[in-house]
Amino acid sequence: MAGHTSVNGADTASMANAKASSSRSPLQAAAASSEAARLLPQVLQLVQDFIASGEKPETYVAPWGSIPDFRKAVTLDLPDSVDTDASGMPDETALMDAIRLVFDHSVNPWTGRFLDKLYAATTPVGIAADLVLSAVNANAHVMSASPVLSLAEERCVEGLCEVFGFTDKKPDGLTMPGGSAANTLAVQTALANVFPPFRTQGVLGVVQYLADKGKAPRPLLFTSSQCHYSLDKAAISAGLGLDSVVKVACDTTGRMCPKALEQALEQAVQQRTGTPFLINATSGTTVLGSFDPLPELAAVARKYGCWLHIDASWGGPIVFSHRAEYAGLMKGSQLADSITINPHKLLNVPLQCSFLLVRDADTLSANSLDAGYLFHSKDRRENAAMKTMGCGRRGDALKFWLYWVRYGKQGFGHHVDAGLQLATELVEYIRSKPELELGPLADPLFLQICFRPKQPDSADDAAHALEPEQVRVRSKGTQFVYQELKRRRMFAVDFAPLPNDIGDYIRLVVHPRTRMDDLRTLVDQVAEIGSRRLLPTNSSIHHPSFAVPNRLDPPRMYRSKRSTKQSSKLKILPEEPEDSSTGGPSGGATPLNASSPVIGAASTLSASLGGANTGGYRRNPSYSEPPAPSASLAAANANSPHHSVDDDDSSSDDAAEGEDEEAVEVYKQLAQIPEGSMRRDARRLTKRSRAKLPRVTAYSTATSYRMRELTKWLNARRSSHHTNVMTFDECLYTTYTYKHVDEARGLVPAPTSANGSGKHHSSRSKDASAKTADLLGIPELRQDAQQHDGSAGAGEREREGEGADETAAAAAAKRKRSRFAVDDVVPELFIMDYGTIVIWGMTLVEEKRFLRELRRFEVERLASEDVESEDLHWYLADYSRIYNDVITLRRGSSYMTKLSLSHALAQSTKISFFEGIIDNTIESTKDIPQSIAESGKIGMPPAEIMKQIGHLFILRMNIHLVGSIVDSPEIFWRQPDLEPLYSAARSYLEIPQRIDLLNTRVEVLQDMLQLLKDQVTSSHSEYLEIVVILLIMLEIVLGVATMLVDLYFG
């Protein structure tokens, strides 16, 4: 019994270990249905939020302005192990954070403004179909493993073959992973059918086969110069090489010329450069959207015995059109041997969904092999993998079948026709813009439209007779527009070189679900950007989000070491340009589609700054959940109330009484602030009020930090401290919270309900986007701010007797608007590699705690008395400025805004450290000149003088070469729209003056120490001269003595 008990104990332990292990692996410790019930509702909620965000007009299409910035800012971890909860189950926070990260940093096609590629957003039906495929998780290689998926593929192939007219023989087809793969399989199938030895002997067999028939030994593939590059890849994959691809000239609309094709074929045969075997026709070219003339090309193919393949990846669905002139573009498709079509493009089926259709099913037998372990039937319909070069296959046809069930052929036709109508209207709108020129258009017009800004010397027909320099200039203009649109991130388009060497044009794809208003806005922005580029180089364009003050701040005496007694320094951060006609921000009420430089530049700035972010993931200002590194933070940000600094009447006027002399000077300078809310707020912001605001503190604690180790350490605290690490050149950014703070703010996640259906963190955060949206430079949101300012202005007029009496409710609302609002703060860290850290939103206790944790990564840690700091406060308002050592940020400002200010704060703190070194040097050397004057002696050892000179040299090198103290940080070279904030903060902190003074003081000290060094060197030289003289005299004495000895005793 004992032994039996022991065995049972071992089994129990083994089972427990297996259960514990399975909780941290794909093995299921609990029923999969339970985990699905817990996870999928959260994921589906995120999907719905992502779609909803895309439907908002202010949402960015792309979360980043450039790929290098994205790579530096976003890291994906591959953990060795995962955290578990009290029950031993995996902590799902990291998983949900990772899914949020995907949505936060992905292009959002649901905006309808993703016009860059030949695909767009799918539909909810497509999402459901993809979910079904993942749930079934069946390999569609044999019907026995995927009966419904295989049958759906079979039925879709039959339906498409019928539409394209493959009825004279028994057709067939299959899904492929993309149009390129379908084209490649078509080329391989053609080779095997035109040249029978290819299947067994490969290209060598084809060469021998052609030689035996007295033909040129190289197989040739003919296609248009506007074809997709996948035909080149297909030739490479088939072993033919690029020399086997012959590009045929096209007409001005991008259609392959049948006469040019026949001439190329005849030339190849006559000159024996090769033997034609395949002609590829394109239905819907990538750039112009042109359709090759299929009947004429089919006749040429029959004449030369070539396989005719139609690449209808993009334009194939036009066969569903109800408009005869468009459906007729596929006339002659029944004469082809094979066709490629991609429903995932024009029909919006989810990626990927591509078909290769063949007119004769027997032609696919060239790809068949006998795999006895897998294929147990000779019917290829039951063994789809026999038709292709692959084995594992996703059942992509299910998505198209469900689309067909939902919309039908009639629905497909209406969808295509809607896109054609949009394209027609858009072309007319572009033609109405005198500052734009259209490129060549397909005939009839399809869904691609190419246009660009018109140069001043352009004529209506200039595009057809351009000099090379004109082409270069216009192409540069196109690329400038493209880059600017990319930076703004409100539209995604592309540019491409057009035929006949006329240069680059903006190319957009009109997707049927795009709104016409958005298309007009895009055209307006292209016109505005192009016009702005043509302005004289010295023309003045207002910065989109800020206005430079009308006059400079009055000069003031510089104090070498900046302290918090800088109250009299007033620096208004750049704001919206003032419109003299309205007295408010210019363009503040201008809609997004207005064609104006201000609006265009505003979009540029908003593209550069990114969306609101308090946690690091979020870049999209309109996304329904606020930026946060974890669900708990997102929930807290969504529900946290605004805190207000007491702003009753007594604090505005009486608080000034009793302030020190310098504070009184602050109020004297209020005359520089326009009357209105800004001036009232400035009066109210007393020292007592400032103490209630969140802190922003910079510390210089070391010479440098070990950034790589620090990054790993912070990444390991993603769950425990809600970190989300991003790197911006020399700066490392992350959020960082402490558990007790989370509990106090209500950030601790609420437990999931027992039935597994409870919402996890996300349900409360839907309305947070309005709070965290980046108002900096977004016209629509600036409009709201202007309306708010207008309300405040109306209140001022009412006090002056220009309006009706205020109601009690209006007065209460006015008081509420005037308060200094501060969102519930999520601490953020900006760690500079030159040994300085800027902390936003931590308490003093938390700051000290983190600084202790940071010590392990410090290089050459400073003594506690040498640590320098800059202590400021900050809050949120409808404007941006630095005043009275308080930073006012526009509500919704992103972490990029804080990054700009943090660079200035970090530099100021580092300069304070250098100033301390200078002070110590001055203190240690201040008595030397007096000592020399009184006694003629230096009073300092030569070694100490050399040490001081070395310290000064190192100091100057650090100021000019280390940590971007003098030069602007690298990020402002890539994101110039951030620099006004940085420059304003540098000006407020008096960094340029302090650097100049540092250099002056260093130069004076160096001159003095050099003089001392020269004096020491001179003294040393004199000493050496005396020694040499004494030695000579000694030598003379010894010589005389020797002579006397020899004389008297010799």
User: For the segment 854-880, what is each residue's pLDDT rounded down to a tens digit?
Assistant: 999 999 898 888 898 988 988 888 777
Backbone angles phi, psi at 919, to 5 degrees: -60, -45
Work out the pLDDT band at 1016, boundaries 50, 70, 90. Answer: low
Residue scoring higher pLDDT (747 or 331): 331
Most confident of 104-118, 927-941, 1031-1045: 104-118
**Nearest one of 639, 643, 637 to 616, comparing CA atoms:** 637
**Residue 214 near residue 221 (C-beta atoms within 8 A):** no
Q: Looking at residue 176, what is its pLDDT?
A: 92
d(CA 676, CA 683): 11
DSSP β-ladder status, 881-883 and 275-282: unpaired
In this predicted model, what pLDDT tens digit does every residue of 184-225 receive, in sequence order? 999 999 999 999 999 889 999 999 999 999 999 999 999 999
The length of the chain is: 1050
Strand order in the sheet with 307-312: 172-176, 354-358, 338-341, 307-312, 275-282, 219-224, 245-248
Question: At residue 107, does pLDDT exceed 60?
Answer: yes
**Tens of pLDDT along 535-593?**
443 333 333 332 223 222 322 222 334 433 333 334 444 433 333 333 333 333 322 33
CB 700 within 8 A of CB 561: no
Using alpha carbons, select from 255, 260, 262 the residue that is nearest to residue 300: 262
At 955 the pLDDT is 60
Taking only the tens place, the pLDDT of each residue in 615-661 is 333 333 332 333 333 333 333 333 333 333 333 333 333 333 333 33
pLDDT tens figures, 308-341: 999 999 999 999 999 999 999 999 999 999 999 9
Helices (H), 76-145: 93-104, 124-136
Lowest mean pLDDT among 625-634, 705-714, 1028-1037: 625-634
Q: Indicate the SS3 state at residue 394.
A: strand
pLDDT digits (tens, 9 = 90+) for 379-406: 666 666 566 777 778 899 999 999 999 9
pTM score, whole prediction? 0.56
Query: Is residue 819 scored above 50 in pLDDT?
Result: no
Q: Which residue in 664, 130, 187, 660 sits closest to 344, CA to CA? A: 130
* Residue carrying the six token digits 């299409």: 61
Distance, C-alpha 119 to centroid of its chain? 20
Phi, psi of 244 (to 5 degrees): -90, 0
Is it the case that residue 792 has pLDDT exceeding 50?
no
- Is residue 998 pLDDT above 70, yes or no? yes
The DSSP code for 256 is B
**Greatest mean pLDDT range, 282-291, 919-928, 1000-1009:** 282-291
The residue whose two tokens read 């006059």 is: 551
As given in the structure block, the two tokens for residue 316 are: 């194939």
- Going along the chain from its start, the domains and CATH numbers come out as 131-408 (3.40.640.10), 416-533 (3.90.1150.170), 916-1017 (no CATH)
Average pLDDT over residues 894-912: 88
Q: Residue 915 pLDDT > 70, yes or no?
A: yes
For 936, the token pair is 């003629």
The helix (H) or strand (E) run that includes residue 402 is helix 397-431
Q: What is the mean pLDDT of the chain?
A: 74
Residues 6+ away with beta carbon under 8 Å from 869: 697, 698, 699, 700, 909, 912
Mean pLDDT of 219-244: 94
- Phi (first) and psi of residue 553, to 5 degrees: -65, 150
Q: In this model, does residue 781 exceed pLDDT 50?
A: no
Cα 207 from chain centroid (whole Å): 51
- From residue 1013, how far is each of 347, 391, 712, 920, 1005 by CA, in Å? 82, 82, 48, 19, 12
Closest CA to 549 of 898, 901, 904, 984: 984
Helices within 502-610 (DSSP H only): 516-533, 597-609
Greater confidence (950 vs 352) lies with: 352
∠ CA 626-629-634, nearest 5°, is 35
Cα torsion angle, 481, 487, 489, 492, sign: positive
Q: How many helices (H) and strands (E) does the chain have?
A: 34, 24
Residue 87's contacts (CB-CB under 8 Å, 6 or more residues apart) are none
pLDDT above 50 (res 411)? yes
Q: Specify whether the backbone of 165 is left (phi greater than 0), alpha (psi in -120 to 50) or beta.
A: left
Element (H, E) at 474: helix 468-488
CA distance 1000 to 1002: 5
